[in-house]
Chains A and B, each alone.
Chain A
């Protein structure tokens, strides 16, 4: 659906990135300064690369060899900035209507009332941006971009400027956009949970280059031991089925062949498939007895691989009973003390809080 390639050189930074995006959410993921925002700005036409080619559907937006470069206002690409960038001199209603003047009648596919409803901004229409909270501003900014019926929606860390509660306020809206308006989205983020939750495809960028492309489960899996910062970004994605909701204790139970996953809070739709993201730093491995523990999520499996280097950490890949890979970080000391080796039977202890939808790692409900 979208094909992107561009090279750009600046005094202190150079970028050489190529990727393809499909329907749904394509996430650009990576640390600060890796070039995510630059890619977005090139896509929107706000930055001129030295060479490149961008094709969206059957429209060529940029082709430096053929001398094609559509200006931003002709690209029909919506852009949501990190901090909204609403027009401060216009009301919310006027902000929403702004792009409509420039959208030909035939191209208007997105219904205003549906957008206002999905984003929950009906009560804000008469207000001015200075009277809105961060989350409200961001919802209005998303609505404003959406109402031009863009062929592609770019979201540049739309949640980064918000605190955790506000993030949870917006995330479901982004999911509904993805599912209800059928507009492809390129989503920039350095937060692994958002990416795991929203994206169908992840492009991992590192210092202006594509480091990996694939599904969230592939790209977000741990790859290196030595880089301490990387450990906190590593995730395993486990699929299961919602088995029951326990009203007494306010927990949901997800069934997996390797064991039951206990999740605080109520999950919608008992019987539906869900994906649970587990941070690799939140997994404890046990050999032998696992009794009298407060941890409720115990998953059995077999050690597939133990990777170590000279550093303090080891990365253990566990093949869970019934499939799915679970990655765990432990110290090299622990691995040697336990005598942990390939093919050992282990039990993985996952703290319930780490798979809480409101907690750190994200959770994604796959509707079928």
Chain B
């Protein structure tokens, strides 16, 4: 049904999307918390910076990543020297691009759900003896679960479709950085590639739909446990 190259692209996309989502999620929760609850000068600047990937042309984001995280980039060189983490022309770079592009969507969804929590529920927990960390783990996180799940799914779906930033940052190397959209693009540039492009498009749609259903089910389950905002 699929050629080896197509399977490679599908699995790569799944891996890139999963890793990007998992790594970005805790950071997104922290940033959402900062934006929802924090009161500090320059909050608007941080807010704007977080949203940059959403409004910039993806090619620009990819180019910025290339400058920062490329082999000779400021951060890229340091990471490669100290931790042996290399992004350029590797699947890790594709994951980084996908994570960065999905990040604002994640932060938005999580921030909204955090802002919907009545601070008095958390205060009630505090008067019952729970310290700030316990309040966060036992009250804030469960009450924000829907937003966190929604944010994760959005970011995952976004990472499956990410094209511009990825191709600018890590190019289109089969087996390394050729995700589904890049593969579809290659097919459309090849005579007789229409069938391949169509097949992969259907796969992309199926995966995105599957992720949506999984998140819906998990949110429902949380909902049945009593959370009903």
Contacts and interface: CB of A to CB of B under 8 A. Distances in A.
Contacts of A73: 126-132
A130 B226 contact: yes
A78 interface: yes
B129 A87 contact: no
A144 B226 contact: no
Contact of A91 (B123, B131, B226): B226
A87 B227 CA distance: 9
A76 to B, nearest CB: 8
A78 B228 CA distance: 26
Given A73-B131, A78-B127, A130 B118 contact: no
Interface size class of B (residues with CB under 8 A): 20 to 34
A98 B121 CA distance: 13
B129 A79 contact: no
Interface residues of A, number: 31
Interface string A31-61: 0000000000000111000000000000000
Interface string A123-137: 000001110000000
Contacts of B125: 87, 98
A145 B142 CA distance: 21
B222 interface: yes
B168 to A, nearest CB: 43
B142 A89 contact: yes
A79 B126 CA distance: 10
Given A73-B131, A99-B129, A102-B129, A85 B124 contact: yes
Contacts of A90: 226
Contacts of B228: 88, 130
A88 B226 contact: yes
Interface in A201-224: none
Contacts of A71: 126, 131
Contact of A99 (B121, B128, B132): B128
9 contacts: A71-B131, A73-B126, A78-B127, A81-B124, A85-B121, A85-B123, A87-B124, A89-B143, A144-B128
Closest 10 A/B residue pairs (Cβ): A102-B129, A99-B128, A128-B226, A72-B126, A79-B127, A89-B227, A85-B124, A89-B142, A130-B228, A73-B126
Interface of A: 44-46, 71-73, 75-79, 81, 85-91, 98-99, 101-103, 128-130, 141, 144-145, 148
Given A44-B127, A79-B127, 14 more contacts: A44-B123, A73-B129, A79-B123, A85-B121, A85-B123, A87-B125, A88-B143, A88-B227, A89-B225, A99-B130, A102-B129, A103-B129, A129-B226, A144-B124
